Chains A and B, each alone.
Chain A
Amino acid sequence: MVKPIATAASGRYRLAVFSRVMAALVGGYTLTALVTACLALSLSLSRVESALTATLPAFLVLCMAVIWVFAARSAWRAWYGLMIPCLILGGCYLWLSGGGA
Chain B
Amino acid sequence: MKEGFRQSMAWLHTWSGLIVGWLLLAIFLTGAASYYRSEITGWMHPEIPSGAPVSQSQALKQAMDWLHDRAPVANSWLIDLPTERLPVTQVMWQAAGERRYNSELLNPASQQPVAPRKTFGGDFFYGFHFQLSLPPIIGRWIVGVASMLMFIAIISGVITHRRIFKDFFTFRPGKGQRSWLDAHNTLSVLALPFHVLITYTGLVTLMFMYVPWGIDLVYGNDRGAYFRDLRDFTPPAAPATEKADLAPYARLIEQARQQWGEGHIARVAIGSPGATNARIELIRDTQDQVSSLPQRLVLNGVSGELIETSDATGPAKAFYGVLYGLHLAHFAEPLLRLLLFISGLGGTIMIATGLQLWVVKRKGNATGGLYRRIEGLNVAVILGLPLAMAGFFWGNRLVPGGLPGREIVEVQVFFAVWLMTILHAQVRSIRKVWREQALLCALAFAGVPLLDLITGPDAVNGLNLFCVLFAGAFAFVLWRLCRSPSGRRSTRATRQIESRS
Contact = CB atoms under 8 A, between A and B. Distances in A.
Q: Are A and B close enough to touch in the complex, i.e. CB under 8 Å?
A: yes
A47 B405 CA distance: 44
Contacts of B11: 70
Contacts, number: 105
B408 interface: no
B221 to A, nearest CB: 14
Q: Is the interface of B mostly helix, strand, loop or mixed?
A: helix
Interface string B208-242: 10110111011100000110011000000000000
Interface in A61-101: 62-63, 66-67, 70-71, 73-74, 97
Contacts of B229: 46-48
B218 A50 contact: yes
A54 interface: yes
A59 B317 contact: no
Contact of B207 (A58, A63, A66, A73): A58
B218 A40 contact: yes
Contacts of A1: none
Give the most central of A3, A58, A73, A74: most B CB within 10 Å.
A58
B335 interface: no
A20 B152 CA distance: 15
A45 interface: yes
B214 A49 contact: no
Given A36-B214, A56-B207, A56-B320, A47 B226 contact: yes
B192 to A, nearest CB: 15
Given A40-B213, A55-B207, A56-B319, A67 B218 contact: no
Most chain A beta carbons < 10 A, residue from B12, B159, B208? B12
Contact of B152 (A5, A32, A63): A63
Contacts of A37: 213-214, 217
A16 interface: yes
Interface residues on A, range: 35 or more
Contacts of A23: none
A35 B230 CA distance: 22
Interface string B191-217: 000000000100110011011011101
A49 B9 contact: no
B151 A67 contact: no
Contacts of B218: 40, 47, 50-51, 54
A49 B5 contact: no
A48 B208 CA distance: 12
B214 A63 contact: no
A71 B2 contact: no
A96 to B, nearest CB: 9
Contacts of A48: 226, 229-230, 314, 316-317
B160 to A, nearest CB: 11
B151 A70 contact: no
A82 B150 CA distance: 22
B16 to A, nearest CB: 8
B8 A56 contact: no
19 contacts: A16-B1, A36-B214, A37-B214, A48-B230, A49-B317, A52-B214, A52-B317, A52-B320, A54-B213, A54-B218, A56-B320, A58-B211, A58-B214, A59-B151, A67-B159, A70-B8, A71-B5, A71-B9, A73-B2
Given A20-B1, A56-B207, 4 more contacts: A37-B214, A51-B214, A63-B151, A67-B9
